[in-house]
Chain A
Amino acid sequence: MGVEGIGARVARKEDKRFLTGKGRYTDDMSVPGMKYAIFVRSPYAHAKIRSIDAAAAKAMPGVIGVLDGKQLLADGIGNLICGWMIHSKDGSPMKMGAWRPLAHETVRYVGDAVAIVVADSVAEAKDAAEAVVVDYEELPVVTDATKALEQGQPQLHPEAPNNLIFDWQIGDPAATDKAIAAAAHVTEITIHNNRLSPNPMEPRATLGIYDGGDDHYTCYTTSQNPHVARLVMSAFYNVAPENKLRVIAPDVGGGFGSKIYIYPEEIVCLWASKRTGVPVKWTSDRTEAFLTDAHGRDHLSKVKMAFDANNRIIGLKVDTVANLGAYMSLFSSAVPTYLYATLLSGQYDIPAIHANVRTVYTNTAPVDAYRGAGRPEATYLLERTMETAARELGVSPAELRRINFIRTFPHQTPVIMNYDAGDYDASLDAAMKAADWNGFAARKAEAAGRGMKRGIGMSCYIEACGIAPSAAVGSLGAGVGLWESAEVRVNAVGTIEVLTGSHSHGQGHETTFAQLVADRFGVPIDSVNIVHGDTDKVQMGMGTYGSRSGAVGMSAVVKALDKVEAKAKKIAAHLMEADESDIVIENGELKVAGTDKTVPWFQMALAAYTAHNLPPGMEPGLKEGAFYDPANFTFPAGCYICEVEVDPETGVTKIIQFVAADDFGNIINPMIVEGQVHGGLAQGIGQALLENVHYDPENGQLLTASYMDYAMPRADDLPSFKVSTSNTPCPNNPLGIKGCGEAGAIGSPPALINAITDAIGNNRLTMPATPQKVWAAAHAAN
């Protein structure tokens, strides 16, 4: 592998910049004449706008302009859209209500933007925003999705009667019902997946710059996919044609999904820059982030799992209600459908599955993909159900899983997915060994002697990453293809630039993508630069989410490297008067195998650009591009085990140990993979123990709008993790890699809740398992 090649534990190149404060984020960007925007936002969760009076605000010091939605509409800027079409089971298309970038008729959640104020300073813009008089007529509010479906509830969008967006299904209802009717045992459980706020360290920000000379727009923004932002803003929002719109996502401080989507602020700042004639910058404060960043999860599901007399699963029936908030965000429809219900087979051979999903409008912030996106919901549902079934059936949780594991591949599930490779016994064995599962009884007894309740729980997860085959997702309703692009430019003296459509916002691409090149050509990674995040530099790309940068983005790089290698060998063979099939590339040199003839890498590159002595007919230069469209999803899987102690007096849960045994296929940089797992576990543990978005059900006010009330995991909430990996290489991409970005967040919540319910002897417990809930459950009858 070499010291810097594939599999090497290389320190991250980008960290010097980040750790010394030299990162360049959107809010660091400054251009001459730049002014500052503040958005006037609705204080009500549901109201009609009777009028907006900006006269006083416009007269205030430093104010350059106050603009509202009527002006936006008059300038032809379009509504925000959801880019994935889902059809209900009756064949009707999903019911998408209008999402105005600036609302001027109705506001539907607290934080809905109604006007933008542009001023010389943030303080002046805030003063003026307070002076904008919006006359609201309050309307009744509904925040709970199940309640919103009932008769007589407030209606959010005229397009969606009873607030129902779609009523979708997957699988075979008749076969599933038949299996349940014939079952020796049916486990029934209600599963609630709590709503989360994404909380990237860097809040959203955008800088819109309109250049009247060229009628050209530049948008700096906190995006995980600047090319998708440009595509959507051009094709659907009518901001500007693609050739007149440059989108730059510079250093981005975390996304976790929340920066995939196009929000109103980017569009409005670009438009406002043209309207006011000045560059317009907006930076979210933390409260705005809580109010307006797309939330995650918020599912309520009823589950029936049917077993035969041998404890084999013969059917699974799921009925889910998913809260999508006030508007349909960009990929919101895909999350509770194709990213969720297609994973309901888990690691198990289940002959019949049926899932029904209803998505619902409520007076809350839009809900979209958040680290894991649908797969945590599927995993939590399945693994809580498996644990419950094991207790009901009197089988050990490990044994029940082993009875039902899939062991032959490829495996076609009843819910679309075709698993290509895996070894679920290997992860389960590794996790149980690392956790000393067999020694648990003694540890429980010792804890009981101290008055503490000790519990252990496991979770065997699978996810679908590397999204996704374009034709497949197109047939399922996606409005875009999910391939990736790469270009490899070898400069005249041999240094290399890799342009990628993937976007790094914490994942370490500047290191891992360079490792691919170092591995291939034996050049130092410091001679390789990764270029990303700018639509003027990288022609097109689909961005980073769904653990796709490795499996899809790197595969595109590999394809481009193949082309560069082929041409480099031709040049070297010509220079050394050898046959190109005899050329090998090692340690930065091109050699004729079996001889001492070599050409250094830089000399070959120089020859490509001097073009004095190239093979007949060869074009000068050395630059190759590639697009890679994956043949299948990838299927990372693993087993997580959590051991806890609950203090019965207070309900406080202390995590004693947390073991993660993952199969990510081949690994480029183990250190970065471990970092991804640690971060994912922290987020999953946050969901299970601490985090919850809480709206007041009466008036729709967000009660968790700051860190005073929204509990993020801190270092002292977490144990030292024991992580390990096993490897069944992915057969469907050239590197054999599966992706690791979301696993920790997907696999950990059920392991933790299974452990706590084991400790307290009561299975009725919802996330987050706060001390109060655990205390109450520990003292209630099961």
Chain B
Amino acid sequence: MYETHYHRASSIQDAVKLRQAAGEGKYLSGGMTLIPTMKQRLAAPSDLVDVRQVPEMKGISVSGRTVRIGAATTHFDVASSSELAALCPAISGLASHIGDPHVRHMGTIGGSIANNDPAADYPSAMLALDATIITDRREIAAGDFFTGLFETALEDGELVTAVTFEAPAKAGYQKFANPASRYAMTGVFVVRRDNGDVRVAVTGAGSNGVFRHEGIEAALSAQWSPDALANVTVDPSDLLSDIHADATYRANLVKVMAKRAVAAARAD
């Protein structure tokens, strides 16, 4: 690790100010990606602004069916929230399968979505839930937020402070874990609203990061059942190929994980 300067922010304004004052600064949340990257000397921020102790960025609040999760809320806290489990068990289940216990007690939802790792779990949930990403300066729809591999709509110095979404009638998430890293080699988050709207988001498989699959959405809108996907085809041409799985196999996984996510959602 190269030399860096550590700052602990006490408020959102304080964090943004510290970040602005820094040269090549970065916000630090759980650090589950950033710190290993720095240890390998692949990142060299001059300053780290730690937002984990900012009170207004922590915790889960529910109002009716509206859920707000502070950006600095750990995966463990999301996974173990009884309010969330009652309202949207799919996101609790997703959080409970991120990494290992160490990662879940350190890593945060804001860090995950701001990093937008193409194999991370949360981006698929945000996109399928049509969540709103709240920053220090504006609100961004999830559909506009995730723009590519490790790319987001965030401007330089912009800080994710929370996410909000309306709990859907049904939601399910199924992930096929990479055998080595256990990140999502393909993960599919399905959501069905009371009005029959369906959104399906796929992580781990797209060559440009998380994406919605219109064919699956159309089939599930017509019939909310795993069987509805029998005749859906998933085009491998925009999917990732790497040493673990090629695009053809990932295309199969998208369909199988979607089927299983619907089955899981129906069972909840």
Contacts and interface: CB of A to CB of B under 8 A. Distances in A.
Whether chain B is bound by chain A comes out as yes
A208 B144 CA distance: 57
B181 A708 contact: yes
B102 interface: no
A114 to B, nearest CB: 18
Interface centre among B1, B179, B249 (most CB of A within 10 A): B179
B40 A703 contact: no
B253 interface: yes
B244 interface: yes
B180 A123 contact: no
Interface in B173-222: 176, 179-181, 183
B216 to A, nearest CB: 16
A689 B176 CA distance: 16
A709 B1 contact: no
Interface in A727-782: 770-772, 775-776
Contacts of B253: 650
A772 B246 contact: yes
A710 B180 contact: yes
Contacts of B180: 690, 704, 707-712
A287 interface: yes
A649 interface: yes
B179 A711 contact: yes
B207 to A, nearest CB: 17
Contacts of B176: 650, 771
Contact of A690 (B1, B40, B179, B252): B179
A770 B244 contact: yes
A694 interface: yes
B181 to A, nearest CB: 4
Contacts of A123: 1, 3
Contact of B249 (A130, A694, A704, A775): A775
B134 interface: no
Contacts of A710: 180
A704 B1 contact: no
A709 B242 CA distance: 10
A703 B41 CA distance: 18
Q: Give the bracket for the number of chain A residues in contact with chain B.
A: 20 to 34
Interface string B1-40: 1110000000000000000000000000000000000001
Contacts of B40: 287
A109 to B, nearest CB: 18
Contacts of B245: 770-772
A771 B185 CA distance: 11
Contacts of B114: none
A126 interface: yes
A386 B3 CA distance: 59
Given A287-B40, A649-B256, A704-B243, A772 B249 contact: yes
A772 B243 contact: no
Contacts of A130: 41
Interface in A709-733: 709-712
Nearest to A690: B179
Interface in A678-716: 689-690, 694, 703-704, 707-712
A491 B34 CA distance: 57
Contacts of B41: 126, 130
Contacts of B256: 649-650
B243 A709 contact: yes
A690 B1 CA distance: 31
A712 B245 CA distance: 17
A772 to B, nearest CB: 4
A476 B258 CA distance: 60
A709 B244 contact: yes
Contacts of B1: 123
Contacts of B2: 127
A712 B182 CA distance: 11
A710 B182 CA distance: 11
Contact of A772 (B3, B181, B183, B244): B244
B249 A703 contact: no
Nearest to B253: A650
Contact of B179 (A649, A694, A770): A770
A450 to B, nearest CB: 14
A288 to B, nearest CB: 12
Interface in B238-268: 243-246, 249, 252-253, 256
Interface string A390-416: 000000000000000000000000000
Given A126-B41, A287-B40, A694-B243, A776 B179 contact: no
Nearest to B248: A776
Nearest to B249: A772
A60 to B, nearest CB: 13
Contacts of A127: 2
Given A123-B1, A650-B256, A704-B243, A709 B249 contact: no
A287 B37 CA distance: 13
Contacts of B179: 689-690, 711, 770-771
A743 B41 CA distance: 41
Contacts of A651: 249
Interface string B154-181: 0000000000000000000000100111
A130 B246 CA distance: 35
Contacts of A712: 180
Nearest to B182: A714
Nearest to A127: B2
B244 A775 contact: no
A690 B252 CA distance: 20
Nearest to A772: B249
A477 to B, nearest CB: 37
A775 B252 contact: yes
28 contacts: A123-B1, A123-B3, A126-B41, A127-B2, A130-B41, A649-B252, A650-B176, A650-B252, A650-B253, A650-B256, A689-B179, A694-B243, A704-B180, A704-B243, A707-B180, A708-B183, A709-B181, A710-B180, A711-B180, A770-B179, A770-B244, A770-B245, A771-B176, A771-B179, A772-B245, A772-B246, A775-B249, A776-B249
Given A771-B245, A771-B249, 15 more contacts: A130-B41, A287-B40, A650-B253, A651-B249, A704-B180, A704-B243, A709-B180, A710-B180, A711-B179, A711-B180, A712-B180, A770-B179, A770-B244, A771-B179, A772-B246
Closest 9 CB pairs of A and B: A711-B180, A711-B179, A772-B249, A708-B181, A649-B256, A772-B245, A694-B243, A709-B180, A703-B243
